[in-house]
Amino acid sequence: MELFKLQTLVVAVLLSSTAIAEAYVRPLPRKNLDLGGFRWPWDSKTNSQPQQVHVSLAGDKHMRVSWITDDKNSPSYVEYGKSPGRYDLVAEGDFTSYSYMLYSSGKIHHTVIGPLEYNTVYYYRCGGQGSEFKLKTPPAEFPVTFAVAGDLGQTGWTESTLDHIDQCKHDVYLLPGDLSYADYMQHLWDSFGKLVEPLASTRPWMVTEGNHEEENIPLLKDGFVSYNSRWKMPFEESGSTSNLYYSFEVAGVHIVMLGSYADYDEWSDQYRWLKEDLSKVDRKRTPWLVVLFHVPWYNSNKAHQGEGDDMKTAMEPLLYAASVDLVIAGHVHAYERSKRVYDGRPDPCGAVHITIGDGGNREGLAHRYINPQPNWSEFREASFGHGELKVVNSTHAYWSWHRNDEDESVKADDFWITSLVSSRCVDDKSHELRSMLMKP
């Protein structure tokens, strides 16, 4: 920590000596934490203690509990109830495992529990072993609060971001891609699982894939085996055939998680599924429509410039016709918020786009921006941090972005967003949407 402060000081001196006196000094990246996940392949695995426990939403009133045991005989049931130490209910789940070159994973358990009451604390235990965990289900109605940060990794900055997310009273955490930064080193998936367990075992973590989830070895290993095995999301519950895209509902918000790394053109399965999913959205029941994916469509940072263009060309007209309120992406290690925008121009019926790939991974921040700032871009800053989306009622939501100032959370951007349902956009475009959805 002392060394880190010294580094910051050195950077501060360097910056001021180049005569760019900025009020806030951007910190350097921090190293990966040493979480002791590594093990030689021949080391024996007998531990039946549940580890890497995390929960996610799994259809109305249900949640999926996921955990890993080294012991392959450990059972996949979850005991749960509303008072500590008293488990009146039990649910049986299933399990998977995978191997990757020399590495073989522990037994990965996924067990759906429910029906659960809304806004209620449940105590649970995995496989009849180990500590008791505690989760809170989301509310049935507004207000509902989401914590948001992408590109997490597992560094000292990640720790800081997780700390701030922990302090904010949130119901669900949304992660627009890039979780562990394991990058083929499978034990880093395990250490990431351990790092996030204190938070991810208490609130649902809803994630979509980024480029760091894809661990391809040509002709040997295909894509997302680690991610899909460990971070199972409710794709079956939402009629999708792939863990790489799905949707879910919380209180009055319909959230679509798209995949930047799955096919997205008009003839793709993802596009077909998206049309079907949007056709089922009832804006009376879920007035807010939010979409997440990894690679931003509106990005004025020089990092990853233009990478989202193809997906934008393919899918933006559909999202526009559906009157999506908010689009959240990651990938660029910085924060940016747009005005309501469509087709590259400010548009009152378009979505607000937020890039928030600032969770704290080891690659550091993306500092260089295109100038002048495009007219759709409202706020941009290269800092680590997290966002909070508080949906107050069917018409108003409050967004704030909090930078990790050293290790303290400081609110650096905020605004009120009014839903498109409360404008004329949804009604005006309903015809357009119907005809797009009906196109074969």
Ligand X SMILES: *[C@@H]1O[C@H](CO)[C@@H](O)[C@H](O)[C@H]1NC(C)=O
Compute the least distance from the CB of residue 138 to ligand X, in Å. Answer: 19
Which CB sits closer to ligand X, 294 or 337?
Answer: 337
- Own/partner long-range contacts of 60-63 (Cβ < 8 Å, ≥24 apart): 60/249, 61/114, 61/115, 61/116, 61/117, 61/118, 61/137, 62/112, 62/113, 62/114, 62/115, 62/116, 62/237, 63/112, 63/113, 63/114, 63/116, 63/135, 63/137, 63/204
Among 96, 395, 400, 423, binds ligand X (CB under 6 A): 395
Beta strands, E only, 62-143: 63-69, 77-81, 89-92, 94-96, 99-100, 103-104, 107-113, 121-126, 129-136
Contact 93, 67 (CB under 8 A): no
- Binding to ligand X by CB under 6 A, coded x per residue (else -) over 331-370, reads -------------xxx------------------------
Q: Which is nearer to ligand X, 54 or 380 (CB)?
A: 380
Determine the interface stretch with ligand X among 77-85, 106-114, 283-291, 387-395 (rule: CB under 6 A): 387-395
Nearer CB in complex with ligand X: 211/393:
393
Euclidean distance between CA atoms 58 and 65, whole angstroms: 9
Closer of 47 and 395 to ligand X (Cβ) = 395
Query: Applying CB under 6 A, does 396 fall inside the site for ligand X?
Result: yes
Nearer to ligand X, 244 or 421 (CB): 421
**Residue 399: CB minimum distance to ligand X, A:** 13
Site for ligand X in 229-268 (CB under 6 A): none
Report in angstroms how near the CB of residue 142 gets to ligand X at its nearest.
8
Name the residue nearer to ligand X (CB basis): 305 or 375: 375
- 51 touching ligand X, by CB under 6 A: no
429 contact partners, CB below 8 Å, separation of at least 6:
320, 321, 322, 323, 349
Interface with ligand X, residue 143, by CB under 6 A: no
Examine the residue annotation and report whether 304 is marked as an active-site residue of this protein.
yes
Calculate the alpha carbon distances from 21 to 116, 333, 410 in Å.
Answer: 54, 22, 20
The count of residues interacting with ligand X (CB under 6 A) is 8
Rounded Cα–Cα distance for residues 163 and 151 (Å): 16
| Of 64-72, 161-169, 392-400, 429-437: span binding ligand X (CB under 6 A) | 392-400
CB of 248 to ligand X, least distance (A): 24
* CB neighbour burial string for 214-227, b if at least 16 within 10 angstroms, e if fewer: bbeeeeeeebbbbb
Q: Which of 110, 164, 170, 304 is catalytic?
A: 304
Bridge partner residues of 207 (DSSP): 175
Task: Find the binder of ligand X among 84, 375, 408, 431 (CB under 6 A).
Answer: 375
Q: Find the shortest distance in angstroms from Cβ 345 to ligand X.
A: 5
Measure the CA dihedral 85/88/91/96, to 10°.
10
Residues serving a catalytic function are 304
State the residues that interact with ligand X by CB under 6 A: 344-346, 375, 392-393, 395-396
